[in-house]
Amino acid sequence: MGLQSTIFRIFGFVPGPIVFGVAIDASCKFWNYEFPCGSSTPVLGACWEYNKEELSNYFMAMTVVAIGLSLIFSFLSWATYPSAPQKNKEKFLPEQKVMKTVGKEEVGETSEREEMRETSDP
């Protein structure tokens, strides 16, 4: 259970913010450049304006890819999962199984349920 939780966190939760962050940064129109403590080399700061159309296209593409991968892996798991063996296709109620294996003739008397059924039937 701990290993499964770790795998889910690594492959499920870590890449998401990174991928969405890259998409958000890729749709930036104007960046703020900062000059840290006496340095003459500018460092990339925050984004001032985003290209809304490009941002929506990135998000739509990521959603379509995620859903597509989910469908592919769901189909692969369905196709490769072995079906459960079917021992007996007949479906019996528990009382029918007992009656079939033991039989009334061997017991020599009727059950209480049969007596109740006989008295309750009009």
pLDDT tens track for 86-112? 766 555 555 555 555 555 555 545 555
Determine the Cα–Cα distance for residues 18 and 93; give it in Å rounded to an integer: 56
Using alpha carbons, select from 5, 120, 17 the residue that is nearest to residue 62: 17
Nearest 10 degrees: Cα torsion 45, 46, 49, 55:
110
Does the pLDDT of residue 9 top 60, yes or no?
Answer: yes
How many Cβ atoms are within 10 Å of 82's Cβ, its own excluded?
5
Is the CA virtual torsion 11, 12, 18, 19 positive or negative? positive
pLDDT recorded at residue 40: 80
Residue 47 φ/ψ, nearest 5 degrees = -85, 135
Condensed to tens digits (0 to 9), the pLDDT of residues 62-72 reads 999 999 999 99
Using CA atoms, how far residue 2 sits from 7, 9, 11, 13, 16, in Å, is 9, 11, 14, 15, 21
The reply to whether the predicted model has a pTM over 0.85 is no
Spatial distance between the Cα atoms of 73 and 77, rounded to a whole number of angstroms: 6
